[in-house]
Structure 1
Amino acid sequence: MTRIKPLDHAILILGALFLIVPVALAVMSSTHTAADIHMNALSLLPGGHGVETYTKVLTHKGGFTGEVTGLRMMFNSLVMGLGFAVGKIVLSMCAAYGLVYFRFRFATALFWMIFTTLLLPLEVRIMPSYQVMSDLHLLNTWTGLIVPLLASATGTFYFRQFFKSVPDEILEAARIDGAGPVKFFLDILVPLSRTMMAAIFIIMFVYGWNQYLWPILMTTDERFFTLMRGIKSILQVWIGAQIPDYNEAFALAVLAMLPPVAVVVFFQRMFIKGLTESDK
């Protein structure tokens, strides 16, 4: 019989509380008024304005144009998250497929050149990227928001390692059956890569959903504002006696957590399997 170790359980409980308490504070504080939060600080007890606050942040039209709503910002964040995830998976799989299955000179050197781009995060290359998008007149467009950041060294690395672990016998069997490169990729490698695709999808969706710096640089049109920009714009308001709408900012923060949490919960098993599975 396994012996229960109280210290181990206490450490786990403290760790769980350390992660849960800030979320609980945000959820409960969003049900209070901004004045209550300003005077009494955050609260772990529910208030009586939850329905009112969440209805307002989702449906109330605001911003400089008086047209943007929380639902619109959620839609924009969802488009960025899905665009990043799907685009990065497609490009990464194609790049890894070429590096593993097409024998050409300097393939290894080319892979390491791609891998070293991990040392160049968005902040390092943001101004050249912005200049290119400006010259192409792609500011305030979905193309300008999504396409420049689709190249992923992380995704290429994971798919390359995955493809290298696929037995050569599968490739030989596909050749004997007359499968060409495209058919082998679509009918064999893509189905085999479902768990890896799920793992990469989670990482890239959360990355795209949480983007703040790139959208704030690329968009001046409120129709393209994301939830991250909405939260920041609320907290920037401090004019005279007017205090920021803390409750609305917390409500937007809670709403911003829901889709990534849902994606992680839905793909959790496939995520773990995709990152740990080695036998195909």
Structure 2
Amino acid sequence: MTQAAHPHARRIKWSRVLDHAVLIAGSLFMLIPLLVVLQTTTTTDVDTIKYGPQLVVGDQFDDNFAKAMFTASGFSGENTGMSMLINSMILGLGFAIGKIVIGMMAAYALVYFRLRFATLAFWLIFTTLLLPLEVRILPSYEIAQQLGLLNSYTGLILPLIASATATFFFRQFFRSVPEELVEAARIDGAGPVKFFIDILVPLSQTMIAAMFIIMFVFGWNQYLWPTMITTEEGMFTLVRGIKQITQVLEGNNVPEFGRANMLALIAILPPVAVVIFFQSWFVKGLTESDK
């Protein structure tokens, strides 16, 4: 006799299997370009030109990494991959930290200071979302040039740190803080600065993490502004430098696909690391409502 099936055997939920299959297929589809880029960093440039992307992993990864990080391109000999990585890191961190600080201070003033035109000021700040960098790039460049900010970290970061997005999110967060907490701090003798630093900043950790991810990735990927504000090769960022390398390699020279793609992979790693590290805080910062 055959043993009867267990009455409590778990049935296969085909809808769930289909959902996971779609997600896995989508993930693999998204990873294919990265795998192609990774493969070209392991083969010689001549092989890449002859055969295109292959399923063969070569032995040129170390050589391409050394050329990408420590060999300069251009004419000055200053824009190695390491220097461009440092410049991009300074731009990303300065961009994110500056926007968070300015956004928190603006939101704090709008929420906790009884300003007569606070609502009008907020909407004026909010309408700047309709004026992205591409719209105001010429006047911004003119002001930076007149102030002598070209080819400097100050010029890369300072004109971009005003953020209506950060101000909006921090304003909404501060408005959700219980009024009883404000009254308790006032009774304990906490002034505006102490209340902001000792109470609001610790409460805003998840929101700060969420804003840091958004602003860091946005600043790291900036191309147009660094292209206009930097003319010295020693100030090039990674995104700017990769484009410059492809321009230099045009002509009779063999294109260095391995080196360029290695720099592209290196440019991907810091934003990915930031997103992975702050992932849980990012979700809490955007969805948490109970403070």
Q: TM-score range by the shorter chain?
A: over 0.9
In structure 2, C-alpha distance between the alignment counterparts of 1:233 and 1:122, rounded to whole Å: 22
In structure 2, C-alpha distance between the alignment counterparts of 1:10 and 1:98, rounded to whole Å: 49
Within the alignment, does 1:141 sit opposite 2:152 as a pair? yes
Q: How does 1:149-164 map to 2 (within 5 A)?
A: 149-164=160-175
Within the alignment, does 1:251 sit opposite 2:251 as a pair? no
- Runs of 5+ unmatched residues, structure 1: none
Which shifted more, 234-243 or 91-100? 234-243
In structure 1, C-alpha distance between the alignment counterparts of 2:250 and 2:202, rounded to whole Å: 56
Which shifted more, 22-31 or 199-208? 22-31
Instruction: Please tell me whether the aligned partners of residues 79 and 241 of structure 2 are also in contact (alpha carbons under 8 angstroms).
Output: no
Residue 107 of structure 1 aligns with an amino acid whose one-letter code is A
Q: Which residue of structure 2 aligns with residue 221 of structure 1?
A: 232
Tell me how far 1:47 sits from its aligned partner.
1.5
Larger Rg: 2
Residue of 13, 26, 41 corresponding to 1:3? 13
Q: Which residue of structure 1 aligns with residue 7 of structure 2?
A: none
Q: Which residue of structure 2 aligns with residue 56 of structure 1?
A: 67
In structure 2, C-alpha distance between the alignment counterparts of 1:178 and 1:30, rounded to whole Å: 61
Tell me how far 1:40 sits from its aligned partner.
1.4
For the aligned residues, what is the CA RMSD? 1.3
Instruction: Please tell me whether the aligned partners of residues 39 and 57 of structure 2 are also in contact (alpha carbons under 8 angstroms).
Output: yes
Q: How does 1:1-280 map to 2 (within 5 A)?
A: 3-5=13-15, 6-280=17-291
CA deviation string 1:19-47 (max 9, x = no partner)? 11111111121111222222212234322
In structure 1, C-alpha distance between the alignment counterparts of 2:144 and 2:251, rounded to whole Å: 38
Which shifted more, 62-71 or 261-270? 62-71
Instruction: Please tell me whether the aligned partners of residues 234 and 244 of structure 1 are also in contact (alpha carbons under 8 angstroms).
Output: no
Residue 224 of structure 2 aligns with an amino acid whose one-letter code is L
Tell me how far 1:187 sits from its aligned partner.
0.2
In structure 2, C-alpha distance between the alignment counterparts of 1:66 and 1:238, rounded to whole Å: 15
In structure 2, C-alpha distance between the alignment counterparts of 1:237 and 1:223, rounded to whole Å: 16
Residue 260 of structure 1 aligns with an amino acid whose one-letter code is P
Identity in percent:
60
Residue 35 of structure 2 aligns with an amino acid whose one-letter code is A
Tell me how far 1:239 sits from its aligned partner.
4.6
CA deviation string 1:138-193 (max 9, x = no partner)? 11111111000000011001100000111111000000100000000000000000
Tell me how far 1:277 sits from its aligned partner.
0.5
Q: Secondary structure at the match of 1:45?
A: coil
Q: How many residues align?
A: 280
In structure 2, C-alpha distance between the alignment counterparts of 1:101 and 1:240, rounded to whole Å: 61
Instruction: Please tell me whether the aligned partners of residues 249 and 256 of structure 2 are also in contact (alpha carbons under 8 angstroms).
Output: no
TM-score of the two chains, using structure 1 as the length reference: 0.97
In structure 2, C-alpha distance between the alignment counterparts of 1:79 and 1:190, rounded to whole Å: 23
Instruction: Please tell me whether the aligned partners of residues 74 and 245 of structure 2 are also in contact (alpha carbons under 8 angstroms).
Output: no
TM-score of the two chains, using structure 2 as the length reference: 0.93
